[in-house]
Homo-oligomer: A and B are copies of this chain.
Amino acid sequence: MSDVTALADRAREAANALAATSTDQRNRALLAMSHGLVARQEEILAANARDIEAARAKNTAAPLLDRLELTPVRVKSISEALRSLALLPDPIGEVMSGSRLANGIWLQQIRVPMGVVAMIYEARPNVTADAAGLCIKTANAVILRGGSLAQESNRALTKVLASAAVGSGMPEGCIQMVESTDHAAAEELMSLHGKIDVLIPRGGAKLIQSVVQNAKVPVIETGVGNCHVYVHAAAIPKMAERIVVNAKCSRPGVCNAAESLLVDAAVYETVLPPILKALEDAGVTVYGDEKTRSLGAIMRIQPASEDDWGTEYLDMKISCKVVSGLDEAIRHINTYGTKHSEAIVTEDYAAALRFLNEVDAAAVYVNASTRFTDGGEFGLGAEIGISTQKLHARGPMGLTALTTTKFIAMGSGQIRE
């Protein structure tokens, strides 16, 4: 039996034992994990320093190094996130519905853990602790497979978190990591149908696609966002400008940032120039269609190709297209969008209603920035990721995304005719 399969079998044993733990026991484990991170931060920071040194030697880009780096302040913040998790209500055991059937059977549908959750993610050590915490909260065993650049950090974090959890009564094997950084190990993890209940990839489009193409286990796709802001003819121009600039510039590298701007032909000549100017002032490069470029006197606009309509820049870049009206805008978004977050700016009631109904996305906005698509902003308390698929969970995922249900039926000898 391979190491990865053995890991998954241990996780199943742990999951069966976790199903019998109480809310209090799991919350105490989270507090122990939170405490452990701070108490043993020296070994964590030392391991992280080795990762950073190796990454620097490989000429790793600065933003990646930044995401990889741990500091005492960051460890403290990760530790506090685990403490906050302990304070959230427990979704496990919730009776979702129930009734006495005509034959006298007392039927209930209750919320239960998924079982074995696997996470595949990039070189971000904070995800290691987040994922472990979310899984312990929901009584799931977790198998972690982080990016190879963070391997030393992840090993130290997993050791500290698992020993704190086990030390406060959680079963051995509840938090494990895949030791091998080979691609083969990741592929094996994705193939363990029947042993892994859900696999959640977190990272860029390439990682997500690799998982979708290779996985034989159930997957929740997360986080690729080609988000649009559509400025309708009846928009308040100044509001449109503020929303576009916020959606693009407040944090251009995240999935809920706007990547494309659509403007109605009826108003583009007056409404678009100040928006383009504001984007230019913010340092954004615009890739425009012919009509947008005809406004080029305002700023230098790059020509947009067909590819631009489908591109998630994750950068200070935006595509811009003049559309004939609501029909074309909805059609364009449903064709090129990734079904993440989409916004219309309008004061027209009927246009707002049609946009909300007909745009196919996890989150659809009227007169607000796409940047609000976030578990914290939506009041979910904690977030595992943002699902862009329709199965199981859609949009920001809170704790319930790590749960499933079970029918329990209490009878007194009933048989079926």
Residues of A within 8 A of B (CB): 16, 19-20, 99, 101, 105, 107, 114-115, 193, 197-198, 212-213, 216, 218-220, 236, 239, 242-243, 246-247, 250, 334, 352, 356-358, 360-369, 371-373, 377-379, 389-392, 394-396, 404-417
Contact = CB atoms under 8 A, between A and B. Distances in A.
Nearest to A354: B20
A247 B413 CA distance: 12
B105 A409 contact: no
B406 A365 contact: no
Among A114, A363, A414, the one with the most B-chain Cβ atoms within 10 Å of its Cβ is: A414
10 contacts: A16-B334, A20-B358, A101-B378, A101-B379, A193-B212, A213-B216, A356-B408, A366-B409, A368-B411, A371-B415
A197 B390 CA distance: 7
Nearest to A246: B415
B395 A405 contact: yes
Contact of A416 (B115, B369, B379): B369
Contacts of A213: 193, 216
Contacts of A198: 390-391
A126 B361 CA distance: 33
Contact of A391 (B392, B395, B414): B392
Nearest to A414: B368
B115 A360 contact: yes
Q: Could you say how many copies of this chain the assembly holds? A: 2
Given A242-B413, A247-B415, A365-B410, 4 more contacts: A16-B360, A20-B358, A107-B378, A391-B391
B367 A412 contact: yes
A198 B372 CA distance: 27
Contacts of A377: 101, 416
A218 B246 CA distance: 34
A407 B392 contact: no
A105 B365 CA distance: 9
A410 B366 contact: yes
A193 B372 CA distance: 27
A92 to B, nearest CB: 11
Contacts of A212: 193, 216
Among A243, A356, A392, the one with the most B-chain Cβ atoms within 10 Å of its Cβ is: A392
A287 to B, nearest CB: 23
Contacts of A373: 407
A413 B241 CA distance: 10
B367 A413 contact: yes
Contact of A378 (B193, B361, B389, B407): B407
A343 to B, nearest CB: 9
A312 to B, nearest CB: 14
A367 B369 CA distance: 54
Contact of A368 (B247, B409, B417): B409
A219 B391 CA distance: 8
A330 to B, nearest CB: 8
B218 A411 contact: no
Contacts of A99: 379
Contacts of A395: 405-407
Contact of A219 (B114, B197, B218, B411): B218
A394 B390 contact: no
A208 to B, nearest CB: 11
A409 B357 CA distance: 12
Q: Which 7 A-B pairs have the closest CB atoms?
A: A368-B411, A246-B415, A390-B404, A371-B416, A392-B392, A218-B391, A363-B407
A242 B415 contact: yes
Contacts of A411: 365-368
